[in-house]
Chains A and B, each alone.
Chain A
């Protein structure tokens, strides 16, 4: 075996190889044939590809095993041949590479998803990847290369399997589109999670070409100290003169070699569509094989947690973090009942409301009396991570349940908790290391919670030392100095504050506090919780487990962050205070100061400000009659917005919002001045024709007609022809309006029109809807066609010229 792959990679930029599939096609792989099975009968063809890359300068050669997992081979009825195929593939490349190049044992996605996205469970997936990794190791590869994964959950399982079943280094590569993997993972999140899980090298391959991968690699560089790899594809293929052509030429790809090296890339190769010529050009373009210097570790250390799609950091230089405490059956009966009935919708809602209120992490406690935590915790993890995108705090001290929960969580979780008792440390810390989680350490031990701050510091020191001995980095430990209830020990509260200061000063790790204990058994708990939060933030607290729905807690957190110098430029404070809540550039509502009341009403309607419309109408009514409020206040605004919309100067939602605001004004007038009837423009019967269940467009037309003072009888959706006739007759309609969205349902329209023309020839019929055109309207004998809601109003006006005030 050659020198250690990772050591070499750290000191030298290595040139990888390029595409395998397209090269095998050139070697004669027939269409539709499985490349891994074909290899067994055509070993020389595969070796030919490897040899060509070696000659081109590749220092890392890949095995032809991308689809050689039991699940993929199973699609060809060859699941039992995993060992044979992978071992053989590794041996074939090793024969070519000798000691001239490293051999990468390639493993691709299984084609299935781990739960909750798919149906495979963790154990099954780990076994599938483990089997393949073992066979590759037996064949003599230098490292396992997980390639083209698009789901963090799956690559996490593959990495775990490769680490568990082999002694080889593991490189992890994801594929990205528009900066994210298919299931929403950014390079930053991938770096946090895969680094914690023990990856030796990380990066990206395939994706949409080299240019896009520059930004991806830049993000990786900012968030990891691990060696980086990149293997872009040669653009999207095109058919030119009957030949499949990949757009990026060797010279095109070579232009990116140096920029990638400058970003700190250690392994540079290529993917789909590339050839040995691409690799040769890339190698020649490198001006040096010296890797670019990488980032320094942050000081003070910052804890990084992540879900599949979101990262959260905790540390002295960051905003303090609020951890939602409400999913806890021992503290809340409703949660206990929901867990008992497995009412996960309730639990998800509990999570969602806490996130909405400002929590960044959710504490998940499923320790239900009489419940099976080994089942409830993983189920809870699955449910929450499917619907919510925050990292989770697994609040559990049962190692068996915790292990299952950690397997399911497709990110980097925080374990709540260990304590100074050796038994607790021994049971929990190995799990944290194995599954790449961070740990919350409580400053208590088998003797209980020590009274003094110094003793608590001693326990924290012990926890950190033990965690480090298990291989956990210091930044992955956060200390809870614990608070007792002020009901029994009010004098102890300040001891906790002192302990936080000591831990921050002497150990430099993050601190967290289960805040609500301080008020246990006392009334007005939020007074105490908020006051204590304030004191502890002053001592350097980095995160609080608390109730984010409590406004006082939330406000204290925001204000405390500013006052303790963690909120640069008061940016968070101002945003939370609503001063910059609307993104820059969004026009603020106009000043309504000294404006003439009719203009103010028009402006309010134009801006869709429903809440101020009625007061403005009331103000106007002091000096004006109802009709002039309508004709000079409401209608001109509707005309203006309708005109703006027709000219493409306003958006449809603005038109509808203005309509809603006008409706408020009309409703007020109608309710309060029933005798002074508002202008009635005529009666319209409207509905979506039989078979069509899409009624959003019809509802917009209804709203707009009502806002223009017409009486609208809305028959709803999927209305039969006879119902239109009956309503038109009963309601003495002036106009019947028909709507249809689909080509299959608009054919109902002529039937309604025929019936109406026969029975009620004086009634006008207008039509509209997504697929309906003016030509179609003419063809079926409609009296008019409205391309949009504003046109519909104009048409109706035309057909109801006499105002019946």
Chain B
């Protein structure tokens, strides 16, 4: 199994954190007290996190409607929303990223000892850090994909696009998640909590990666609004129009 392990630098900037603070369309600078807390927890998260990632490239064995199987890997990608993205793909890159267990420990401690605001802001910074980590890993994978004269598809994760979260277990096994301390709870959630798994397809034809157009979709989700499970609740006025066929 050719899984590549990478330690990743964490170079968070403030703008990456704001979306996770649930900061909506209000313009203008942050109030001073929030600014100070964000500063404190950026430092804390940067110190505690040990961002690591795994990358594995697998050739696609077969693609049928709603089901993508891979060579030499037990993982099966299912769900109409997810598999539709891999129609023109020959390979996929599997990614897993984590910030390590110390972030979870610190969050638990803050919840015990500090106020809700501290825990909330720490959690937001850590979520931004996890997103930053998977973005870096994504960029590494995409470089390889483009170099091979393929086009990267959008990034997809178990739990989205009809791909059940139950696949998380086989995903983590397939990428040898233990190497970076990843495990899955009986309810299919990743541990450490600030971890992400995802898959990118190697397409023969150019495809649009929706999250490369932040002006149209300012949230950090790698999904299009149509595929997003939070679409019904999204308050973002800049949300992509869902268009005809929307179930809203």
Contacts and interface: CB of A to CB of B under 8 A. Distances in A.
Q: Do A and B come from one complex?
A: yes
A363 interface: no
Given A108-B147, A113-B6, A31 B116 contact: no
Given A184-B11, A652-B23, A653-B121, A703 B30 contact: no
A343 interface: no
A125 B201 CA distance: 29
A107 B11 CA distance: 27
B9 A349 contact: no
B111 to A, nearest CB: 6
B121 A588 contact: no
B26 interface: yes
Contacts of B6: 113, 117-118
A787 B233 CA distance: 8
A97 to B, nearest CB: 25
Given A699-B111, A742-B189, A652 B22 contact: yes
A112 B115 CA distance: 43
B207 A239 contact: yes
A111 B11 contact: no
Interface stretch (A191-199, A478-486, A595-603, A606-614): A606-614
Contacts of B188: 744
B31 interface: yes
Given A660-B116, A700-B120, A771 B230 contact: yes
Given A184-B9, A651-B30, A691-B187, A657 B47 contact: no
A691 B184 CA distance: 12
Nearest to A35: B149
Interface in B49-83: none
A666 to B, nearest CB: 13
A719 B245 CA distance: 38
Contacts of B206: 237-239, 244
Contact of B9 (A35, A386, A648, A654): A386
B151 A237 contact: yes
Nearest to B5: A119
Given A770-B233, A787-B233, A651 B143 contact: no
A244 B187 CA distance: 43
Contact of B204 (A31, A585, A744): A31
Contacts of A112: 4
A236 B166 CA distance: 35
A693 B193 contact: yes
B12 to A, nearest CB: 10
Nearest to B90: A32
Contacts of A568: none
Nearest to A748: B187
Interface in A677-713: 690-696, 699-700, 702-704
Contacts of A352: 43, 47
A800 to B, nearest CB: 21
A309 B159 contact: no
A22 B148 CA distance: 10
A388 B205 CA distance: 41
Interface stretch (A175-183, A371-379, A397-405, A443-451): A175-183
Nearest to B143: A150
A111 B142 CA distance: 12
Nearest to A610: B115
B80 to A, nearest CB: 16
B139 A177 contact: yes
A507 B220 CA distance: 54
Nearest to A743: B229
Nearest to A233: B146
Between B7, B144, B193, the greatest number of chain A beta carbons within 10 A of the residue's beta carbon is seen for: B7
Nearest to A741: B189
A586 B212 contact: no
Given A742-B189, A744-B187, A651 B24 contact: yes
Contacts of B21: 651-653
Nearest to B118: A660
B29 A770 contact: no
B238 interface: no
Contact of A349 (B11, B28, B47, B123): B47
A554 interface: no
Interface in B90-110: 90
Contacts of A348: 47
Contact of B32 (A66, A587, A704, A787): A587
A356 interface: yes
B189 A182 contact: no
Contact of A118 (B7, B22, B28): B7
B34 A389 contact: no
A654 B34 contact: yes
Given A183-B8, A237-B206, 13 more contacts: A119-B5, A177-B139, A182-B139, A583-B29, A587-B29, A648-B24, A652-B120, A653-B124, A657-B34, A693-B193, A703-B116, A744-B187, A773-B233
22 contacts: A21-B149, A67-B147, A118-B5, A182-B139, A183-B136, A184-B11, A349-B47, A386-B9, A389-B11, A586-B31, A651-B22, A651-B31, A653-B120, A657-B33, A659-B117, A691-B187, A692-B187, A693-B187, A696-B120, A700-B120, A771-B233, A773-B233
Interface of A: 21-22, 25, 29, 31-32, 35, 66-67, 108-109, 111-113, 116-119, 148, 150, 177, 180, 182-184, 236-239, 244, 272, 308-309, 348-349, 352, 356, 386-387, 389, 582-583, 585-589, 607-610, 648-654, 656-657, 659-660, 663, 690-696, 699-700, 702-704, 718, 742-745, 770-771, 773, 775, 787
6 cross-chain pairs, A with B, having the tightest CB-CB distances, nearest first: A691-B187, A660-B115, A703-B116, A239-B206, A656-B117, A652-B22
